[in-house]
Amino acid sequence: MLQLLKNRGGATGAVESSFVAVDGRKHLAGVAFLPAIGWFEITLLDLEALLPRSYLWPLVAVFLTSLLVTLILFHLIIRSRILKPLVSLESAVENVRSGSFTLPHLEKPNNEIGRLAGHFEKMTDTLGNSTRELERKVEQRTDELNRLARIDALTGLKNRRGLDEALDEEIQRAKRQNTGFGLIWLDIDHFKAINDELGHQAGDDILCRVALWLKAGVRPYDHPGRWGGDEFVVVLSPCDEDTLCQIAARIRETIERDSIRTGTPVTVSVGGYLCQPGDDVDTILRQADQALYRVKQQGRNKVLITDGSGQEINPA
């Protein structure tokens, strides 16, 4: 090392160092030139004395522990600030995609991910409100369409489909409660002649008036409807013999009396049937239709009610 310094010409500040063995122990040797006195300074450092091996492993352990703690803290920070918010946001996205707008608790740290979660939450709330409003409107429109599908457009009464449903409900109720109910079937006398003489517009007007008089002659919980053409049907429940006869007679009288006041006299023939528990639709309609047919044979503008045996009940 001295020779190397000499080769450099003894430059000021030049230092040479290297490991050397002294008495079998490793030392760090350093040689420096002192130009003021023209001497060389040689320094030997016993590495074993400077850094004993007994100190090395605790230092390594401290280093590894510090590194492990740093990694754990880094992991916890990354997890709480990035990974956990992303997982909760992903779960929320899956909920919305499946049609549910009830979001799980969203982690919203004070960073870009937190702001993104907040925007997504507001967007989901707006989308949920819009969807619920749309579903409400669709439900209203569907209910309205279902109602219109069961209403006769001309008279505003139930149409044949609505009457079929009301009749089926009463049949099922009669089976459960072992009680009967009434059915009235009527049509306008000589309606074809009215159409031919006064025109179809006048005929439609008479149908509407008969519908109003029919509703006026029944109870609020009965089911009047237009079966088709000039035929009308009323489902009466609850009902017994006397109630059926009274309502049928009142309907006929109301239509005859009030039509005279309008200047176009109209009469109706009324057939009725007191339905029994266990009767099916075909039986009920056949019995009522036969009663109406017998009224027409007897001269129209009358009421005829039959029971399950086909016998007349208080004929009028």
Same domain, 71 and 184: no
- Name the residue range of residue 289's domain: 160-306
* DSSP run (H or E) holding 273: strand 268-275
pLDDT, greater one: 210 or 87: 210
Question: Would residue 90 count as lying in a domain?
Answer: yes
Which tokens is 22 given? 């002294």
Question: Would residue 226 count as lying in a domain?
Answer: yes
Same domain, 69 and 46: no
Our CA angle for 282, 283, 286, nearest 5°, is 80
Question: Would residue 313 count as lying in a domain?
Answer: no
Nearest C-alpha neighbor of 172 from the set 279, 83, 256:
279
3-class secondary-structure state, position 154? coil
Per DSSP, what are the bridge partners of residue 269? 187
Residue 267 confidence (pLDDT):
95
Query: Are 5 and 14 a contacting pair, CB within 8 Å?
Result: yes
Same domain, 235 and 119: no
**Contacts by residues 114-117 (CB-CB < 8 Å, ≥ 24 positions apart):** 114/85, 116/89, 117/85, 117/88, 117/89, 117/92
pTM > 0.85: yes or no: no
Question: Would residue 151 count as lying in a domain?
Answer: no
Same domain, 91 and 209: no
The structural domain count of the chain equals 3
Residue 191 confidence (pLDDT):
93
Same domain, 113 and 9: no
Q: Residue 239 burial (CB < 10 Å; 0-12/13-18/19+)?
A: buried
Question: Would residue 70 count as lying in a domain?
Answer: yes
Question: Would residue 217 count as lying in a domain?
Answer: yes
Same domain, 67 and 36: no
Whether residue 316 is predicted with pLDDT greater than 60 in this model: the reply is: no
Whether residue 6 is predicted with pLDDT greater than 80 in this model: the reply is: no
* DSSP run (H or E) holding 268: strand 268-275
Of the ranges 52-56, 99-103, 121-125, which one carries the lowest mean pLDDT score?
52-56
Whether residue 56 is predicted with pLDDT greater than 90 in this model: the reply is: no
Residue type, 35: P
Torsion from C-alpha of 275, 279, 283, 284, nearest 10 degrees: 30
Which of the given ranges, 4-13, 96-105, 117-126, 160-169, has the highest pLDDT on average?
A: 160-169
Query: Are 85 and 107 a contacting pair, CB within 8 Å?
Result: yes
3-class secondary-structure state, position 177? helix
Question: What is the arithmetic mean of pLDDT over 100-126?
Answer: 80
